[in-house]
């Protein structure tokens, strides 16, 4: 009889321990879940980084070589149709560079009627390319137009034309809005220009509106020397 009582007591204790253990586990699980606010349960930041909205691809392209006379290597940018308000930039580029009347010299039967060597450059080489800078959604699309000699014996003549876009607002910007969005001022740009090309000059000696500058694909500030920038 005593042995039976002991067995029953042991079985009862074992069942009680199992029940208490199960309840304890459930309680811990419930507590861990309730400690995390529901709105933050899935708020783990993405490790893939931000996705660029401002996508640019090759647009009108023209490549041709006429030995000893003229060489052309043109590649204009085209802002993707998926970019909100990107058509504004595309239309501006088309107007600025008269794209509607441009022809691919390498694809027509009478290319000589569409070009003429530029005075001052023997065996003229006309190059047009573009670069895109993206600094936390503040974008600069730059078209770089260079005229030189294919012989490599002339100093190139380079101009740049920039188009600005804010991914955060999905709006096209002007140059003033662009540098402001970067947290810069006209004075900051002028000081950088002086430091790079002409340390002897002062801020008041430089005209900001005549400066040729842009940000390259590495987000580095670049300048194109321009004598008219000096007052």
Where do the domains of the chain lie, and which CATH numbers do they carry? 56-174 (3.30.565.40), 184-231 (no CATH)
Q: What pLDDT digit, counting tens, does each position of 18-38 carry?
A: 434 443 333 322 223 233 333
- Residue 204, SS3 per DSSP: helix
pLDDT at residue 74 in the model: 96
pLDDT per residue of the chain (231 residues) written in tens, 0 to 9 = 444 334 344 444 444 344 344 433 333 222 232 333 333 233 223 333 567 899 999 999 999 898 888 899 999 999 999 999 999 999 999 999 999 888 887 777 676 666 666 677 888 999 999 999 999 999 999 999 999 999 986 688 999 999 999 999 999 999 999 999 999 999 999 999 999 999 999 999 999 999 999 999 999 999 999 888 998
Q: Residues 73, 130: contact at Cβ < 8 Å? A: no
* Dihedral angle, C-alpha 48, 139, 157, 204, nearest 10 °: -130
Q: Residues 92, 79: contact at Cβ < 8 Å? A: no
- Name the DSSP letter for residue 230: B
Rounded CA separation 159/226 (Å)? 9
Rounded CA separation 156/127 (Å)? 10
**Residue 43 phi, psi (nearest 5):** -95, 30
Predicted TM-score (pTM) of the model is 0.75
Q: Are strands 157-166 and 70-79 parallel, antiparallel or unpaired?
A: unpaired
């Amino acid at each position: 009889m005593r042995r039976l009582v002991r067995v029953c007591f042991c079985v009862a204790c074992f069942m009680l321990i199992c029940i208490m253990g199960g309840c304890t586990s459930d309680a811990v699980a419930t507590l861990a879940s309730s400690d995390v606010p529901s709105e933050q349960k899935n708020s783990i930041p993405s490790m893939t980084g931000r996705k660029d909205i401002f996508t640019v691809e090759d647009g009108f392209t023209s490549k041709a070589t006429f030995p000893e006379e003229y060489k052309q290597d043109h590649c204009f940018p085209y802002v993707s149709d998926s970019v909100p308000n990107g058509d504004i930039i595309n239309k501006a580029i088309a107007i600025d560079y008269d794209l509607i009347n441009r022809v691919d010299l390498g694809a027509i039967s009478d290319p000589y009627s569409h070009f003429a060597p530029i005075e001052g450059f023997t065996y003229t080489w006309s190059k047009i390319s573009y670069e895109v800078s993206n600094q936390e959604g503040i974008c600069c699309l730059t078209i770089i137009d260079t005229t030189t000699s294919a012989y490599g014996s002339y100093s190139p003549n380079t101009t740049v034309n920039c188009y600005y876009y804010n991914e955060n607002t999905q709006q096209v910007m002007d140059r003033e809005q662009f540098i402001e969005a970067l947290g810069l001022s006209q004075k900051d740009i002028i000081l950088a220009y002086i430091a790079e090309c002409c340390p002897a000059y002062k801020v008041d000696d430089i005209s900001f509106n005549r400066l040729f500058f842009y940000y390259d694909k590495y987000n580095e500030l670049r300048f194109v020397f321009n004598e008219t920038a000096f007052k």
